[in-house]
Amino acid sequence: MASSSNSAVYPVGIGAVPARPHPRVLSIAGSDPSGGAGIQADLKSIAAHGGYGMAAITALTAQNTLGVSAVHVPPVEFLRQQLDAISSDIDIDAVKIGMLGDAAVIDEVRSWLEEVRPAVVVLDPVMVATSGDRLLHETAEASLRSLLPLADLITPNLPELAMLLGEPEAPDWATALDQGKRLAAECGTTVLLKGGHLAGNDCPDALVNTSGLLRQDVIEVPGTRVDTRNSHGTGCSLSSALATVQARTDDWEASLREVKPWLLQALATADGLKVGKGSGPVHHFHHLEPALNPAGKSGDFAARLWAEAVPELEAIYGLAFIQGLQSGRLPEPQFNYYLAQDAIYLNGYSRVLARAGALAPTEEEQLFWAKSSQLCLEVESELHRDWLSTRPASTETGPMTRSYVDHLLATSASGSYAVLLAAILPCYWLYAEVGQQLHAAYVQAGAPSDHPYAAWLKTYADEEFAAATRKAIDFTDAAAAGASAQERKAMVEAFAQSCRYETAFFDAPRLFA
């Protein structure tokens, strides 16, 4: 199933930075011995994105998940020795700058940056920790402002943004965007606005640059707020991940679209780490566990279904269609066939989702399925408008599409909400998994702009779709909890059948295009 948004076609930036599969990324930041923020978070985040991490320590903190109890800033001469030791030997592809502590440290970093001029510089203007403890001396705020023009990207949270402009904190996102534009124009750089400090369910981020460097002045990437207190170090993790991915893609938008879903999943899985009594760290390496495997978070039943899905997932990765899509060698008629069949499928799927809405036991679920049903139709018309209007492809329903939709319709006629959800789920779950994998592989390969399916592959990093998938999993799990033994057996069968159709659907272009 095609993802719900994000399918705009945009060019990959062609800049001076060559694509590098394993960027050498230096973090210049403070140490958090409890491992959640500072250089410790940066090194994990860089490694999680395939970079080679290095660290020059500006300050030592004594802190844990409850707060900072002491800060020690070593002599700046020693910081300079660390920086020189690295840059005299190693080519640095990207630098992330975090806690600086005081004005002398800022001056030293500025003088080193002016000499070495790394290709990518991301500056996270760390001032106050989540716990409320100061990490930058008050007298150093003016020095920090003067460092901003040396960065390619600045990543302030809303209080930091306000401080850098000398204005009150933005009460809403629209004001924050306005402040971001002014800061970007003032410093001649790109600003990443972060929505973590907003009230409400949304956690958007936005790249802002008013000089024409981006596709448009403001590029917003939406995000749903994860309900967790374990968000220590999100800012550090985000900025170092962006530095790493940017060294590979040379495209801030592509970098943010890759990093944001990763960060949301790191937050969504943070509670499982069980570190400390306060605001614990995020899970940087959640993707080493099956990305959406709910074994920890959801109930046993979803885990059991997942066990059914794994062999199908492996079969999908082995398909010539998927490999061709990834390598770019997929014959175009097959791609066109796939898109046309996807549009037909989505029309049928939308009817089945509407039926789930009709059977749903709670208003929350009813609303979710009704909205999903509508979204399917929107994606169907988007496919026709943006992708199929210029491509020759048959509009006839292919045999696999027909069989898959017939299976879903038959299940929806059974009247069991639980069994219907089990049949619906693979389209979300497998698509989200395959999409994430294909997108990651594309970015890992340096996001080549001459890849014939680049625009399509970019649509796969869709956090909204990943969030909807998690919801669909949770609803299925809850439905299983209230189902009879017989229904649960039927659920496993319906789920397994849909998984097989998912594989067949991806294989159909090879056979029928």
Ligand X SMILES: Cc1ncc(COP(=O)(O)O)c(N)n1
In the complex with ligand ATP, which residue's Cβ is closer, 234 or 336? 234
Closest CA to 60 of 118, 122, 105, 26: 105
Closest CA to 45 of 312, 325, 262: 262
Q: Does 44 bind ligand X (CB under 6 A)?
A: no
Q: How far is the CB of 203 from ligand ATP (least distance, A)?
A: 4
Answer yes or no: are the C-beta atoms of 509 and 437 closer than 8 Å: no
Interface with ligand X in residues 318-377 (CB under 6 A): none
3-state helix, strand, coil in the chain (%, to 5): 55, 10, 30
Interacting partner of 225 out of ligand ATP, ligand X, none (Cβ under 5 to 8 A depending on kind): ligand ATP
* Residue from 13, 23, 30, 156 in contact with ligand X (CB under 6 A): 30
Sheet holding 94-97, edge to edge: 67-72, 52-64, 24-31, 94-97, 120-123, 153-154, 190-194, 205-208, 218-221
Q: How far is the CB of 197 from ligand X (least distance, A)?
A: 11
* Residue from 97, 236, 344, 440 in contact with ligand X (CB under 6 A): 236
Answer yes or no: are the C-beta atoms of 237 and 44 closer than 8 Å: yes
Q: Does 109 bind ligand X (CB under 6 A)?
A: no
Answer yes or no: are the C-beta atoms of 239 and 29 closer than 8 Å: no
* Residue from 3, 24, 28, 32 in contact with ligand X (CB under 6 A): 32
In angstroms, the Cα distances linking 248 to 119, 154, 255, 442 are 11, 18, 9, 11
Chain contacts with ligand ATP (rule: CB under 6 A): 130, 157, 194-197, 203, 205, 223, 225-226, 231, 233-236, 238, 263-264, 267
Number of residues that bind ligand X (CB under 6 A): 17
In the complex with ligand ATP, which residue's Cβ is closer, 272 or 399? 272
In the complex with ligand ATP, which residue's Cβ is closer, 1 or 238? 238
What is the rounded CA–CA span in Å between residue 339 and residue 389? 11
Answer yes or no: are the C-beta atoms of 338 and 507 closer than 8 Å: no
Q: Does 37 bind ligand X (CB under 6 A)?
A: yes
Q: Does 61 bind ligand X (CB under 6 A)?
A: yes
Q: Does 27 bind ligand X (CB under 6 A)?
A: no
In the complex with ligand X, which residue's Cβ is closer, 37 or 360? 37
Which stretches of 49-157 are DSSP H helices?
76-87, 103-116, 141-147
Interacting partner of 197 out of ligand ATP, ligand X, none (Cβ under 5 to 8 A depending on kind): ligand ATP
Q: How far is the CB of 194 from ligand ATP (least distance, A)?
A: 3
Closest CA to 227 of 259, 269, 261: 269
- The pattern of x and - marking residues 83 through 102 that bind ligand X according to CB under 6 A reads ---------------xx---
Q: Which stretch binds ligand X (CB under 6 A): 129-137, 306-314, 429-437, 440-448?
A: 129-137
Q: How far is the CB of 502 from ligand ATP (least distance, A)?
A: 29
- The pattern of x and - marking residues 384 through 423 that bind ligand X according to CB under 6 A reads ----------------------------------------
The total number of residues shown for the chain amounts to 513
Output the residue with the shortest Cβ distance to ligand ATP. 196
Alpha carbon of residue 493 to chain centroid: 32
Question: DSSP letters of 25-40?
Answer: EEEEEEE-TTSSSHHH
Interacting partner of 194 out of ligand X, ligand ATP, none (Cβ under 5 to 8 A depending on kind): ligand ATP
Q: Does 34 bind ligand X (CB under 6 A)?
A: no
Q: How far is the CB of 138 from ligand X (least distance, A)?
A: 17
Interacting partner of 32 out of ligand X, ligand ATP, none (Cβ under 5 to 8 A depending on kind): ligand X
In the complex with ligand X, which residue's Cβ is closer, 160 or 312? 160
Provide the 10 A C-beta neighbour count for residue 128: 15
Residue with tokens 């936005």: 206
What is the rounded CA–CA span in Å between residue 47 and residue 235? 16
Interacting partner of 195 out of ligand X, ligand ATP, none (Cβ under 5 to 8 A depending on kind): ligand ATP
What is the rounded CA–CA span in Å between residue 223 and residue 159? 20
In angstroms, the Cα distances linking 127 to 42, 144, 145, 234, 252 are 17, 10, 12, 14, 24
Q: How far is the CB of 53 from ligand X (least distance, A)?
A: 15
Interacting partner of 223 out of ligand ATP, ligand X, none (Cβ under 5 to 8 A depending on kind): ligand ATP
* Residue from 4, 27, 65, 130 in contact with ligand X (CB under 6 A): 130
What is the rounded CA–CA span in Å between residue 57 and residue 360? 54
In the complex with ligand ATP, which residue's Cβ is closer, 439 or 451? 439
Output the residue with the shortest Cβ distance to ligand X. 38
Question: DSSP letters of 257-320?
Answer: HHHHHHHHHHHHTGGGG---SSS-B--TTGGGS-TT-TTTTS-HHHHHHHHHHHHHHHHHHHSH
Q: How far is the CB of 461 from ligand ATP (least distance, A)?
A: 14
Answer yes or no: are the C-beta atoms of 267 and 467 closer than 8 Å: no
List residues near ligand X by CB under 6 A.
29-32, 37-38, 61, 98-99, 126, 129-130, 135, 232-233, 235-236
